[in-house]
Structure formats: structure tokens, C-alpha cells
Amino acid sequence: MKPRMTIQKTLVLEALNDLDNHPTALEVYQHIVKKYPTISQATVYRNLNCLVAENKILKIEIPNSAARYDIKNVNHYHLKCDVCGKIFDLEMDYFTELETKITNLKGFKITGHSLVINGICSTCDKKYKEEN
């Protein structure tokens, strides 16, 4: 199980550099497929997972939405509009101390956490007000 560096994996990494807005797997695929129409979605998914396992990129999981990926070290949180489903960046320090605060773990080894703030974005909020 020694990971290899393939053309496709390189393309995935490059795509993540180009698209620096924590893209979804689909967005990564769509970016690559423009130039290299033969790459498949499955390969993009497999390489993203692989790069996460190699600890080279970061996966940000969001309930009820596609996961987002980022070149390692830009660990941040997201706002999610529960009306339109859009994801927004949240300028807030990553809460590392949180993981140390947790006790009573009974042998559970913490590797990270996922935090998403839910709400209603200003656009959807405006629409709602106009309709009432």
C-alpha cells in the first residue's frame, strides 16, 4: 500500500492550488476536466481521499453538503445557509483548545472536529421579508 504519485494526483493538487476557495470534489473535477477531459470523477474522489490520508490536504465535512477540500494549514469554519444551502467562510480562529477540554473519553482518540454554524444568509432573509 505505498501511494504513488500519478499524473491525476498531481492534477488534483494543482487544482486545489488554483481553486483556493476550499472547493468541493465536484468543483475540483470540473476544474481538471476542462483541460483533461478524460479524467474521471471517481479518480478525483480517490485521490482526494488519498491525499487526506497522506495528510497533505484538509477535508472539511459539512452536514448535508458536499465535503470541501483545502491545501493543508488553512483550517477554518463555515457558515451554512439552511435555506439556500450556500457555504460562507467564517473568520474565526480554529478552536484547538476545544479538543483538550473534552474529558470522559473512555479511550476515544480525538483527531479533529467539525463545526458548522447554521443560519440564514442575508439574501434569503431579505427574500423572506419581501414575501411577508
Partner DNA sequence: ATACATGCAAACACTTTGCAGCACA
Partner DNA sequence: TGTGCTGCAAAGTGTTTGCATGTAT
**Residue ranges binding DNA (CB under 7 A):** 1-9, 24-26, 38-43, 45-47, 49-50, 64-67
Nearest to 3 by CA among 64, 59, 46, 41: 46
Bridge partner list, 88: 79
Selection from DNA, a second copy, none that 38 binds (CB < 5 to 8 A by kind) is DNA
**For a second copy, what does the binding mask look like between residues 5 and 44, x meaning CB under 8 A?**
----------------------------------------
Dig out the grid coordinates for 70 from the structure: 483545502
Nearest to 28 by CA among 57, 56, 69: 69
Pairing of strands 87-90, 57-60: unpaired
**For a second copy, what does the binding mask look like between residues 72 and 111, x meaning CB under 8 A?**
-------x-xx-----x-xxx------x-xx-xxxxxxxx
Is 54 near a second copy (CB under 8 A)? no
The CA distance from 121 to 48, in Å, is 29
Q: How far is the CB of 97 from DNA (least distance, A)?
A: 28
Angle at 29 between CA 24 and CA 35, to 5 degrees: 140
Selection from DNA, a second copy, none that 116 binds (CB < 5 to 8 A by kind) is a second copy
